[in-house]
Amino acid sequence: MFLEKDRNNSERTGWIEVVCGSMFSGKTEELIRRLNRARIAKQKVEIFKPEIDTRYDETDVVSHDDKTVSSIPVQNASQILFYAEDFEVVGIDEAQFFGDELVSVCNELANDGKRVVVAGLDMDYLGNPFGPIPKLMAVAEYVTKVHAICIRCGNLANYSHRTVKDDKLVVLGETDAYEPLCRYCFNKARREIEDKKD
């Protein structure tokens, strides 16, 4: 469980939190939980997400348990700087879809005194580090890895295995296109796909 730092310091300093993990690991739920608590603390809160993520709704960050929070879709990371000016806490969802530019944007926001909470996939469907997330994990003060449950064996899952044949990095409509797997089951599933190719 992530426990917030007390904000009642006389000196205003910001910081970066990263919440990352596989599909179905509860990243967005955790982002929303933190931002709701900040809202209860009467802080000015806003969530941004890349325009690419239009799975359910154009303007809402929607997590899988249907707790919705409104958000601003942006075309690139630098637009966040423009919109975030009046907010104390800035949430960024589906952050893996932004470019590396997001790293300097988050640093700038935090240097400006804002609390920045970033949620995103740490790995793509092949198990490779995804977009700006690895660099964000390096510059963040706090990193939380959340886990899904492996649907094949019940262990903790940290891979998002793609169940449909498609080589694009981004496939939307995640519920039927991916399954969360542990390291053992993921390697087994990848081997089976490679064997079929031969």
Residue showing tokens 């931002």? 35
Report the residue number, 91 or 180, with the smaller CB distance to Zn ion.
180
Interface with Zn ion includes 150 (CB under 5 A)?
yes
Interface with Zn ion includes 182 (CB under 5 A)?
yes
Name the one range near Zn ion by CB under 5 A: 51-59, 139-147, 150-158, 188-196: 150-158
Interface with Zn ion includes 153 (CB under 5 A)?
yes
38, two tokens: 């900040």
| Closest C-alpha among 96, 172, 163 to residue 128 | 96
Kind of pairing between the strands at 156-157 and 148-149: antiparallel
Closest approach, Cβ 152 to Zn ion, in A, equals: 5
Report the residue number, 37 or 152, with the smaller CB distance to Zn ion.
152
SS3 130: coil
| Closest C-alpha among 40, 196, 20, 10 to residue 117 | 20
Closest approach, Cβ 161 to Zn ion, in A, equals: 10
Contact residues for Zn ion, defined by CB under 5 A? 150, 152-153, 155, 182, 185
